């Protein structure tokens, strides 16, 4: 435990790890139909590359990254594209999103897989490979890893690269199992990251309630210079800023990223997918998911992305009696699902079939008594009750003054609040309102710019028309030019030939 620091706040939670971590990871049964969301990462949604009726191979790119912060999406099995349309996805909003639905042909035919020697690749080509392989953070945030593997604009030299194996949510064990079973592959992925980032030191943080994982990772790191550190089991030690603080003593300032203080952090499962992408030529088409709570055999399953949650629950012997709610993620930071037919995505680390015991008992919300318990446990050093007041009063500017966006939604404050105030729900509401207002502002600004551009175009066209007319018109007499005298006009008329009758009739003029 030498060289460890501590962070403010946090909680000791009741652990449920042993219910799902005793058994080795199982492969999922191949579902007949997979619904693959095109948005499984933070950033721009991937652009679809297929349409209904197309045949696809396992590992074929079906959605290409769109922009810098984006990631590719791949077919998890071979088969035929049934549809590209909006379907229910696991999201707190319950709103549908764009998906590619694939009917499996049962053959599991792969694309050609081409491993590469990463030491021979230019860093930008290597990052591009990872982007096109759909590598994103598998700890739950799903941020595109290629972006985090580029230091430009943040710091010149990385001090510390951290591999996050803390896994502090009380029910989740997918990282525990992957470290026990695939430690060598995780370290192989870590070598690729080290090659790109060239950190001065590499630290691997694992909560001390995972002795087998600590032993496996320590053995795999032998001779590499990477240090495995057991950190105290205290929620939320797996949150990035808290783990950075624990391992390095560095505080990441409000509104900054760890990389701004010279530290970059990746989840252990992300390192594993980096290895598969580079040294096996396999894109991210599956992930390990903990199925826990009120199911008959809680365990970890390596699920294809796009597989329905209901199939995973069936592989765990089905639900037990008393399921009150289905939660994606843990009970502290997860969110309730509207259905178990939604698909597994890269962010799905856990499906918890929660019973009454796992949920906070329904009690009437009481007024805030200003006890300060929420301040004591807030790991982000915020003033949760102030945030609550301002969010409730819709004083969003003031909530931002109290660093609303530094709240990591860990739920520690709600957990200890004696008045049972659902504090995190207020923070999420305030954040959503601020984002919605920002979007409205951006839309209004866009509309104003379009209107202004149209007015300028109309004015320009008007001036061009007038300029053309001026060019066509005969030169006008000068206003001061001398008028012909009456005598001159009479002489001109006499000299002109008299019109013939035919000419006069043809013009319709009357003759006397």
By CB under 6 A, name the binding residues for ligand SF4: 368-374, 377-378, 380, 382, 384-385, 387-388, 407-413, 417-419, 421, 423-424
Q: Which candidate, 350, 339, 227, 260, places its Cα nearest to that of 300?
A: 350
Burial tier of 15 (Cβ tally within 10 Å: 0-12, 13-18, 19+): middle
CA distances from 325 to 56, 237, 316 (A): 36, 26, 17
CA distances from 443 to 66, 204, 211, 266 (A): 21, 44, 53, 35
Residue 428: what are its φ and ψ, rounded to 5°?
Answer: -65, -40
C-alpha 353/C-alpha 340 separation (Å) is: 10
Is the Cβ of residue 83 or residue 336 nearer to ligand SF4 in the bound state?
A: 336
Q: Which two tokens stand for residue 103?
A: 């009917």
| Smallest distance, ligand SF4 to C-beta of residue 231, A | 18
Is the Cβ of residue 137 or residue 411 nearer to ligand SF4 in the bound state?
A: 411
Give every CB contact of residue 471 below 8 A, 6+ residues apart in sequence. none
Burial tier of 77 (Cβ tally within 10 Å: 0-12, 13-18, 19+): buried
Is the Cβ of residue 95 or residue 371 nearer to ligand SF4 in the bound state?
A: 371
Are the C-beta atoms of residues 220 and 186 closer than 8 Å to each other? yes
Is the Cβ of residue 51 or residue 425 nearer to ligand SF4 in the bound state?
A: 425
Is the Cβ of residue 322 or residue 372 nearer to ligand SF4 in the bound state?
A: 372
| Smallest distance, ligand SF4 to C-beta of residue 438, A | 20
3 state SS of 406: helix
| Smallest distance, ligand SF4 to C-beta of residue 386, A | 9
| Smallest distance, ligand SF4 to C-beta of residue 251, A | 15
Is the Cβ of residue 71 or residue 408 nearer to ligand SF4 in the bound state?
A: 408
Is the Cβ of residue 244 or residue 421 nearer to ligand SF4 in the bound state?
A: 421
| Smallest distance, ligand SF4 to C-beta of residue 54, A | 44
C-alpha 235/C-alpha 243 separation (Å) is: 11
Is the Cβ of residue 155 or residue 375 nearer to ligand SF4 in the bound state?
A: 375
Is the Cβ of residue 8 or residue 82 nearer to ligand SF4 in the bound state?
A: 8
| Smallest distance, ligand SF4 to C-beta of residue 363, A | 13
| Smallest distance, ligand SF4 to C-beta of residue 95, A | 24
Residues in the chain: 512
3 state SS of 181: helix
Are the C-beta atoms of residues 406 and 386 closer than 8 Å to each other? no
**3-state SS track over 209-248:** CCHHHHHHHHHHCCCCCCEEEEECCCECCCCHHHHHHHHH
Q: Which residue bears the tokens 């104003």? A: 448
| Smallest distance, ligand SF4 to C-beta of residue 258, A | 16
Sheet-wide strand order for 201-207 = 227-231, 201-207, 160-165, 263-267
Is the Cβ of residue 150 or residue 419 nearer to ligand SF4 in the bound state?
A: 419
Is the Cβ of residue 7 or residue 118 nearer to ligand SF4 in the bound state?
A: 7
| Smallest distance, ligand SF4 to C-beta of residue 281, A | 40
C-alpha 161/C-alpha 176 separation (Å) is: 20
Is the Cβ of residue 19 or residue 251 nearer to ligand SF4 in the bound state?
A: 251
| Smallest distance, ligand SF4 to C-beta of residue 410, A | 4
What is the DSSP secondary-structure string of 464-503?
HHHHHHHHHSPPPPPTTSPPPPHHHHHHHHHHSPPPPHHH
| Smallest distance, ligand SF4 to C-beta of residue 399, A | 11
| Smallest distance, ligand SF4 to C-beta of residue 136, A | 23
Q: Which two tokens stand for residue 36?
A: 């693959």
Are the C-beta atoms of residues 289 and 269 closer than 8 Å to each other? no
């Amino acid at each position: 435990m030498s060289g460890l620091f501590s962070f403010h706040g946090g909680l000791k939670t009741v652990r449920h790890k042993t219910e799902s971590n005793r058994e080795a990871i199982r492969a999922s049964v191949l579902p007949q139909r997979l619904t693959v969301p095109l948005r499984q990462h933070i950033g721009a949604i991937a652009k679809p590359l297929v349409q209904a009726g197309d045949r696809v191979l396992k590992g074929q790119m079906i959605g290409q990254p769109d922009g810098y912060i984006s990631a590719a999406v791949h077919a998890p099995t071979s088969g035929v594209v049934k549809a590209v349309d909006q379907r229910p996805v696991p999201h707190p909003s319950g709103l549908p999103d764009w998906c590619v639905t694939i009917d499996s042909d049962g053959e599991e035919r792969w694309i050609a897989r081409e491993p590469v020697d990463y030491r021979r690749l230019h860093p930008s080509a290597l990052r591009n490979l990872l982007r096109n392989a759909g590598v994103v953070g598998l700890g739950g945030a799903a941020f595109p890893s290629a972006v985090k593997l580029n230091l430009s604009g943040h710091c010149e030299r990385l001090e510390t690269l951290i591999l996050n194996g803390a896994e502090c949510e009380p029910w989740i064990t997918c990282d525990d199992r992957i470290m026990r079973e695939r430690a060598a592959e995780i370290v192989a992925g870590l070598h690729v990251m080290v090659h790109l980032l060239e950190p001065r030191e590499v630290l691997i943080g694992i909560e001390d309630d995972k002795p087998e994982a600590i032993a496996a990772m320590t053995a795999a790191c032998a001779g590499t210079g990477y240090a495995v550190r057991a950190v105290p089991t205290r929620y939320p030690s797996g949150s990035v800023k808290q783990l950075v603080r624990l391992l390095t003593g560095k505080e990441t300032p409000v509104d900054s990223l760890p990389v701004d203080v010279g530290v970059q952090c990746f989840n252990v499962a992300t390192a594993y997918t980096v290895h598969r992408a580079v040294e096996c030529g396999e894109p991210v088409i599956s992930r390990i998911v903990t199925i826990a709570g009120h199911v008959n055999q809680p365990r970890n399953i390596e699920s294809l992305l796009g597989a329905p949650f209901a199939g995973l629950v069936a592989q765990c012997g089905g639900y037990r009696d008393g399921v009150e709610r289905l939660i994606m993620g843990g009970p502290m930071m997860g969110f309730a699902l509207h259905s178990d037919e939604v698909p597994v995505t890269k962010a799905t680390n856990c499906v918890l079939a929660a019973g009454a015991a796992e949920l906070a008992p329904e009690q009437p919300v009481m007024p805030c008594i200003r006890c300060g318990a929420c301040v004591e446990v807030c790991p982000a050093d915020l003033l949760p009750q102030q945030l609550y007041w301002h969010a409730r009063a819709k004083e969003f500017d003031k909530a931002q003054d109290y660093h609303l966006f530094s709240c990591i939604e860990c739920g520690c404050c709600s957990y200890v609040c004696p008045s049972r105030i659902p504090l995190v729900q207020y923070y999420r509401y305030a954040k959503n309102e601020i984002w919605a207002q920002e979007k409205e502002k951006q839309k209004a600004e866009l509309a104003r710019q379009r209107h202004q551009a149209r007015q300028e175009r109309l004015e320009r066209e008007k001036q061009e028309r007038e300029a053309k007319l001026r060019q066509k018109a005969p030169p006008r007499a000068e206003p001061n030019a001398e008028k012909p005298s009456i005598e001159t006009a009479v002489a001109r008329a006499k000299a002109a030939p008299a019109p013939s009758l035919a000419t006069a009739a043809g013009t319709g003029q009357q003759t006397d």
